[in-house]
């Protein structure tokens, strides 16, 4: 499944459902396939996400290529970056954020 995040004042971010649900739970959300965060609640969600990401060890020597047909390990920090950017923009513009399956 693919989940699309979009903001009232931003573009959109698309990610795999498993990663999206993990990040949603880190933000204090239920992890449902579809939902929204009201504009006044976006700063708190961003704060929770950043705090949760800080508690996860970073992957050393993260690779962005594939070697010998093995999957490269991509950290949750890297996967979260576009969503963090979207949330930060929503905070600056005082807009809501929503997500739904694609």
Q: Is residue 64 part of a domain?
A: no
Q: Is residue 87 part of a domain?
A: yes
CA 66/CA 32 separation, integer angstroms = 31
Which range of residues forms the domain containing residue 52?
A: 2-56+71-101
Residue 3 pLDDT level (bands cut at 50, 70, 90): very high
Task: Count structural domains, the chain.
Answer: 1
Least confident window among 4-8, 36-40, 69-73, 88-92: 69-73
Give helix then strand counts, H and E, for the chain: 3, 4
Q: Is residue 27 part of a domain?
A: yes
Residue 83 · residue 23 · CB < 8 Å: yes
Residue 69 pLDDT level (bands cut at 50, 70, 90): very low
CA 60/CA 43 separation, integer angstroms = 29
Q: Is residue 18 part of a domain?
A: yes
Task: Flag whether the pTM goes above 0.95.
Answer: no
Residue 42 · residue 8 · CB < 8 Å: no
């Amino acid at each position: 499944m693919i989940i699309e995040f979009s903001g009232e004042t931003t573009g959109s971010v698309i990610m795999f459902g498993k990663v999206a649900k993990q990040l949603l739970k880190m933000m204090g959300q239920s992890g449902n396939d579809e939902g929204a965060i009201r504009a006044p609640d976006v700063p708190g969600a961003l704060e929770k996400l950043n705090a949760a990401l800080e508690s996860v060890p970073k992957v050393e020597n993260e690779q962005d290529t594939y070697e010998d047909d093995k999957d490269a390990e991509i950290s949750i920090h890297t996967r979260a970056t576009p969503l963090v950017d979207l949330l930060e923009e929503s905070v600056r513009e005082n807009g809501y954020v929503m997500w739904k399956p694609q």
